[in-house]
Structure 1
Amino acid sequence: MATFALLLALLSLMDSAYGGSFTTDLIHRNSPASPFHPNPTRGAAQRSILWARHSSRKIRSDLIYGGSEYYMKVAIGSPPLETFLLVDTGSDLSWTQCKPCIKCYQQKPPIFNPRNSSTYETVQCRTRLCKSLLGTRCGGDDGRACNYFYKYGDKSFTRGEVAVETFRIGTPPGSTITVPRIVFGCGYDNGGGFDSVGSGIIGLGGNGPFSLISQTNGSFSGRFGYCLVPESSKGTSKISFGEDSVVSGPGVVSTPLISIGLDQFYFVNLEGFSIGKTRFLYGNNSSDSEAKDSSKFKIMVIDSGTSLTFMPSQFFDSLESAITAAVALPRVRDPNGELDLCYRSLGGKINAPIVTLHFAGDADMALNVGSTFLHSAENQVCVTMKPTDQLPILGNFAQMGFKVGFDVRNRTVSFMATTDCEVQ
């Protein structure tokens, strides 16, 4: 097993392999480009709500897996085995299900068998690399393997061994890259609400040492971004690394990434929102002293693995009242009991005001009406936001129709509205 320092040195040499820049497709689970049968959007909302989880720091939060999922095609091992991994900016460790399974959930891609790969290498439990990942212990047949265990808030879990392996990322015959010696989890015991579309997760979270962004920092300078199209679109969502991910042009705005000690999450300061031309700021309409503690409620997590946007409960009340006053349609109950704010609308059409989020640094993000209001059932639309008493989240519905670029080294994230994710 290479030492931790040698591993970092190997990762720093990857510039020469693909020039420090790379773009590939993101595949929505229900899109025409998906190799799997479409599933209804209702499931997306339900999974988004149910996947409340603990972070790897054991901090309770409402960060969510599942939802309106976007997957990246990845080939693992030598010879490579193709699979699909859920792209998640709210997680650092990447993992896939592995044979021999103690318990594996049903997945449509074939399950990776490390015994068939000549480049698979188990991380030893007494190494610095193993000790830097929380929740590890010694295991395996000889008691020397680095075993991990992640348990999430809905009792879903993944358990296995930490290893290094070659990943080929991308969608042939288009652009692909080969990344040697990626640290990942080989999960032999996994269960809960994971979707059968993919075999695991690819973690793009913050500064955690096991994030794909940290592991490719020497090549991509801590920069990546994506552009998400709605699942009904004929266009293709994209994810970029390095120079390709820089967001520039008319209308681009940037806001600082906030560091609060949770390495794997991307935090920003949300100062308020607008419904049409009416602006609301934190604490302005509440007598609750806790609600006026802006330091608690202004923090929001940007999470590509969550579909819905979660707003602080006391702040959601103002949003709900403002939208209800502006939308001249009768309120209805969501028959699935998942979404809070729904209206009866013939054909799913709605004349609604634009919701704008106001981030620190005068970074205003005017959300698309089509992603704010979900055509969730026949003659019904629902707002893709919910209240939370935990960490607020900017989900991927809200991010549709934007180029989003992260610069982890310089601690900024940029947004720019677009109608074409194909244009760089």
Structure 2
Amino acid sequence: MAAMSSPIIGLLLLLLPIAPSSAIKFPLGGNVYPVSHFYATLSIGEPAKPYFLDVDTGSNLTWLECHHPVHGCKGCHPRPPHPYYKPAADKLKVQCGGPLCAAMRRDVPGIPDCSRKDPHRCHYEIQYVTGKSEGDLATDIISVTGKDKKNIAFGCGYNQEEAADAPPSSVDGILGLGRGKAGFAAQLKGLKMITENVIVHCLSSKGKGVLYVGDFNPPSRGVTWAPMRESLFYYSPGLAELFIDKQPIRGNPTFEAVFDSGTTYTLVPAQIYNELVSKVRGTLSESSLVEVKGRALPLCWKGKKPFRSVNDVKNQFKALSLKITHAHGTSYLDIPPQNYLIVKTRKRAWLSSTPRRILL
């Protein structure tokens, strides 16, 4: 889910649509603000029931909020988008010493040892920056259009903990798209539902988007390529540097870049963030925009007139870029203003509902 770092910059990347060849396509719901994540709909069980799962490349294990036959669903959200997944007892009989549980143990560090009293139970506990999920591994049918029904393994999460001020959840769980053997894509490849362990997350400037899992035909333009380091469970191309208006941040510090779709905003070390904020404010010194206090993000500006879209203000900001150094050379990921600015609709009793503010 959340990567551990410091303050917020904004969005990271907007890809062009990609034409799949043999991939499974999952339309996405959600947006950066105010939903704060993107989710795919998976149909699980027989009869199949829909569940919204947060698309998370930073997690290896897929899990649903689950009404466990023994433990119930303590700590679950009181108003999930769909009724809790409620498995029969036989769906939870996963051998703790078997290959499925072993794969999860390799992918998710810190899982308790197997219990001799209950060898048919594969228990897990996952710690996130803002909370945790605890449950047992389950297996059940996944229904995908145009594909045979197959059993996949995922977590029956019966105990979730999160920050006390967390908003109501708009998802039923997590879709684990990490690089581990227990990850969603790796399981689909093992079941021969896809030919390649590849994921493609396409974002739209209007929210939503699409997720492809499997082989695909990449677009011929508009894409920055950077190889991922093979030795890691998460997606990292290695060291990166942040630029604004083609100029490096003072001191030109480097940091390890991690692509984590479960973290809505881009997080950077405090030194880089503070210098970036200083430069952004400098570019707006003669602008008509007025900095105001925002609730959602640290930086917020208000204009003299309502903003219809981010296009009304993008020319007053400078482009960011990420310089990525890897084994094959250097790649530059361009981040134009429309990819890191958010237009917020502010509603007040004495005002009509008009977009008035932008958030960084």
Letter in 1 for 2:203: L
The alpha-carbon distance between structure 1 residues 22 and 128, as it changes in their structure 2 partners (threshold 3 A), is closer
In the other structure, the counterpart of 1:307 is 264
User: Residue 24 of structure 1 contacts residue 176 of structure 1 at CA under 8 Å; is this kept in 2?
Assistant: no
Letter in 2 for 1:150: I
User: Residue 62 of structure 2 contacts residue 176 of structure 2 at CA under 8 Å; is this kept in 1?
Assistant: yes
- 2:204 aligned with 1:229, yes or no? yes
User: Residue 168 of structure 1 contacts residue 176 of structure 1 at CA under 8 Å; is this kept in 2?
Assistant: no
The alpha-carbon distance between structure 1 residues 200 and 229, as it changes in their structure 2 partners (threshold 3 A), is same
Match of 1:205 among 175, 178, 199: 178
In the other structure, the counterpart of 2:67 is 99
Q: Please give the secondary structure, in 2, of the residue aligned with 1:347.
A: coil
In the other structure, the counterpart of 1:355 is 320
Using the alignment, how far apart are the partners of 1:279 and 1:358 within structure 2? 11
Using the alignment, how far apart are the partners of 2:115 and 2:73 within structure 1? 14
In the other structure, the counterpart of 1:161 is 136
Match of 2:215 among 243, 246, 251: 243
Letter in 2 for 1:225: V
Q: Once the 2 structures are TM-superposed, how far is the Cα of residue 251 of structure 1 from its aligned partner?
A: 3.3
Q: Once the 2 structures are TM-superposed, how far is the Cα of residue 382 of structure 1 from its aligned partner?
A: 2.0
Using the alignment, how far apart are the partners of 1:279 and 1:142 within structure 2? 59
In the other structure, the counterpart of 1:144 is 120
Using the alignment, how far apart are the partners of 1:153 and 1:273 within structure 2? 24
Using the alignment, how far apart are the partners of 2:331 and 2:87 within structure 1? 46
Q: Once the 2 structures are TM-superposed, how far is the Cα of residue 331 of structure 1 from its aligned partner?
A: 5.2
Q: How does 1:163-182 map to 2 (within 5 A)?
A: 163-169=138-144, 175=145, 177-178=147-148, 180-182=150-152
Percent identical: 24
Match of 2:333 among 351, 365, 372: 365
CA deviation string 1:210-233 (max 9, x = no partner):
111222335332212021113x45
Q: Give the TM-score taking structure 1 as reference length.
A: 0.64
Which ranges of structure 1 fall in alignment gaps of 5 or more residues? 1-18, 31-40, 45-67, 170-174, 384-424
In the other structure, the counterpart of 1:111 is 84
* Bigger helix fraction: 1
In the other structure, the counterpart of 2:93 is 122
CA deviation string 1:256-311 (max 9, x = no partner):
2124x541x111235333323x3216xxx33xxxx85x4xx1x1111111211112
Q: How does 1:372-383 map to 2 (within 5 A)?
A: 372-376=340-344, 378=346, 379-383=356-360
CA deviation string 1:66-91 (max 9, x = no partner):
xx211111111122121111111110
User: Residue 332 of structure 1 contacts residue 344 of structure 1 at CA under 8 Å; is this kept in 2?
Assistant: yes
User: Residue 352 of structure 1 contacts residue 369 of structure 1 at CA under 8 Å; is this kept in 2?
Assistant: yes
The alpha-carbon distance between structure 1 residues 316 and 153, as it changes in their structure 2 partners (threshold 3 A), is closer
User: Residue 58 of structure 2 contacts residue 262 of structure 2 at CA under 8 Å; is this kept in 1?
Assistant: yes
User: Residue 292 of structure 2 contacts residue 302 of structure 2 at CA under 8 Å; is this kept in 1?
Assistant: no
Letter in 1 for 2:27: D
CA deviation string 1:119-158 (max 9, x = no partner):
x35211233432441414446995531111223333x322
The alpha-carbon distance between structure 1 residues 96 and 376, as it changes in their structure 2 partners (threshold 3 A), is same
RMSD between superposed Cα atoms in Å: 3.0
Using the alignment, how far apart are the partners of 1:186 and 1:304 within structure 2? 22
- 2:52 aligned with 1:75, yes or no? no
Name whichever of 72-81 and 85-94 sits farther off. 72-81
Aligned residue-pair number: 304
Q: Once the 2 structures are TM-superposed, how far is the Cα of residue 189 of structure 1 from its aligned partner?
A: 2.1
Q: Please give the secondary structure, in 1, of the residue aligned with 2:160.
A: strand
Q: Give the TM-score taking structure 2 as reference length.
A: 0.74
User: Residue 375 of structure 1 contacts residue 381 of structure 1 at CA under 8 Å; is this kept in 2?
Assistant: yes
Using the alignment, how far apart are the partners of 2:31 and 2:115 within structure 1? 35
Using the alignment, how far apart are the partners of 1:271 and 1:199 within structure 2? 34
Using the alignment, how far apart are the partners of 2:146 and 2:86 within structure 1? 22
Using the alignment, how far apart are the partners of 1:198 and 1:85 within structure 2? 6
The alpha-carbon distance between structure 1 residues 139 and 324, as it changes in their structure 2 partners (threshold 3 A), is same
In the other structure, the counterpart of 2:57 is 89
User: Residue 140 of structure 1 contacts residue 147 of structure 1 at CA under 8 Å; is this kept in 2?
Assistant: no
User: Residue 29 of structure 1 contacts residue 197 of structure 1 at CA under 8 Å; is this kept in 2?
Assistant: no
In the other structure, the counterpart of 1:335 is 294
Using the alignment, how far apart are the partners of 1:179 and 1:270 within structure 2? 41
Greater length-normalized contact order (CA 8 Å, ≥ 6 residues apart): 2
Q: Please give the secondary structure, in 2, of the residue aligned with 1:311.
A: coil
In the other structure, the counterpart of 1:393 is none
